[in-house]
Amino acid sequence: MAEHPIPILEEAAGVCVDAHGGAIGLPQLCADWVPNQIFWLVVALVLIYLLLSRVALPRIGAVLAERRGSITSDIAAAEELKLKAQEAEAAYNQALADARAEAARIVAAARADIQADLDAATALADAEIAAKAAESERRISAIRASALESVSEVAREATQDIVALLGGTADAAGVTAAVAARVKG
């Protein structure tokens, strides 16, 4: 028996091994081995079932429960953060509206101040213009009076010279009265 392992195989295998020790076909398909294979299959499945049900599945269940709890707490935290974000957005919008109202109030106040300064500057400019216009009117009146005086003087002298050239005598009072009457219209 020690010389070759095939005779042991012959004894165990029965008809699935030929007389020379060569295997006929696939040994796993040998009908003599089927009960033995079924036995070990059942043993292996029972061991796998026990291993899974006692060790692996409880660990997987614990991981799933932990994940479920983590997801639930994350969802609750997300909802809380969402509410805080909505509150922050509402506060931001209110602050923005308040800032816009304050800016509009500041603009209105600045506009009123500018308008008041403009009105004061316009009134000052109008007063300066009126003063300059009055001064100009006074100067124009003085120039007009001076011009009228000069024209009257030239007209009197010219009249006396014309009367003297024509061979007559003109008294100063008569010439002055004639020139004044003519200047008045």
pLDDT at 15: 57
Average of per-residue pLDDT across 128-134? 92
Q: Is 179 within 8 Å of 152 (Cβ atoms)?
A: yes
Whether the pLDDT of residue 20 is over 60: the answer is yes
**Burial of residue 17, with CB atoms counted within 10 A of its CB: 0-12 exposed, 13-18 middle, 19 or more buried:** buried
Predicted structure pTM score: 0.41
Whether the pLDDT of residue 19 is over 50: the answer is yes
pLDDT range class, residue 88, cuts 50, 70, 90: very high
Q: Which of 63-72, 101-110, 138-147, 176-185 has the lowest mean pLDDT?
A: 176-185
DSSP state of 169: -
pLDDT at 154: 84
pLDDT range class, residue 119, cuts 50, 70, 90: very high
Q: Is 1 within 8 Å of 8 (Cβ atoms)?
A: yes
Three-state SS at 23: strand
Residues 6+ apart with CB under 8 A from 178: 159
- Six token digits for residue 124: 């000052």
- Six token digits for residue 160: 């006396």
Domains of the chain by residue range: 1-31, 33-184
DSSP state of 145: H
C-alpha to C-alpha distance for 18 and 22, rounded to whole angstroms:
5
